[in-house]
Amino acid sequence: MYEKFYDQLEKLGIVPVVVLEKVEDAEPMAHALMHAGMRSAEVTFRTACAAECIAAMRAAEPEMCVGAGTVLNNEQADRAIDAGAQFIVSPGYSEDVVSHCIELNVPVLPGCVTPSDITAAIAHGLHVTKFFPAAQYGGLATIKALAAPFVGHRFMPTGGVSTANVEEYLSCPAIAACGGTWMVKPALFADGDFSRVEQTAREAMDVVRKVRG
Ligand code: 3PG
């Protein structure tokens, strides 16, 4: 299940975690990321305009893979999917959200930090899960320890991933992709100029190319 999406994740390498307060920022954000070669975004449901932003990004950049993040329940998942979200990310493991997304055939990346979480995800046929908050749960050392018994299972760490450590994360075979906010921090585009987002995203993609070719 979801093999095509997992292949896509591997190619993307980095999925920026985008928190947008204004729908007007969605279109220039999508263009800046795509120009930098960063062809995806996880738009978080932490802000009221998340669904609208997903729709705006998909319309602005039809080739971009746009998903929804911080999805805590089925109602949010439905709103995200109706808006065009192509994948769903949750900070934790929700049996409800996972089952619902599988029923709808939409890829879902639940947050799994314990062996029990991962066992539950694997029981549903999931082979990649989010690992959040990565830094606080032991980062790469914990991921490597979890990868040993869960052979073939892979992770998308977010939380504390940055320019300082993304190369190390991406070099680990158990990492499908990394998530993070460092290239899309609100301070980078507060004045409406998205060139700093583009530049930071381009630098991040240089690391993906260096590690993964
Ligand atoms: C997430 O939602 O995945 C994290 O908040 C991203 O964490 P970061 O800001 O440390 O990249």
Supply the pTM of this predicted model. Answer: 0.96
Question: Among 103, 130, 185, 210, which one carries the catalytic annotation?
Answer: 130
Q: φ and ψ at 204, to 5 degrees?
A: -65, -40
**What confidence category does residue 213 fall into, taking pLDDT thresholds of 50, 70 and 90?**
confident
Gyration radius (Cα) of the chain, Å: 16
27 is catalytic: no
Query: The dihedral of CA 41, 196, 198, 10: what is its sign?
Result: negative
For 182-206, the pLDDT digits (tens) are 999 999 999 999 999 999 999 999 9
> The tokens of 190 are what?
């507060």
Q: In the prediction, which pLDDT does 94 show? A: 98
User: What average pLDDT score do residues 5-16 get?
Assistant: 97
What does pLDDT average to over the chain?
A: 97
pLDDT at residue 107, rounded to an integer = 98
Name the strand (E) or helix (H) holding 82: helix 74-82
Which listed CATH number (2.60.40.1080, 3.40.605.10, 3.20.20.70, 3.20.20.150) goes with 3-205?
Answer: 3.20.20.70
Nearest CA to ligand 1 atom 9: 181
Element (H, E) at 178: strand 178-180
**Token output for 115:** 């062996």
Start-to-end CA span in the chain (Å) = 26
Closest-lying ligand 1 atom to the alpha carbon of residue 182: 11
Q: Which pLDDT value is given to residue 1?
A: 77
pLDDT digits (tens, 9 = 90+) for 90-128: 999 999 999 999 999 999 999 999 999 999 999 999 999
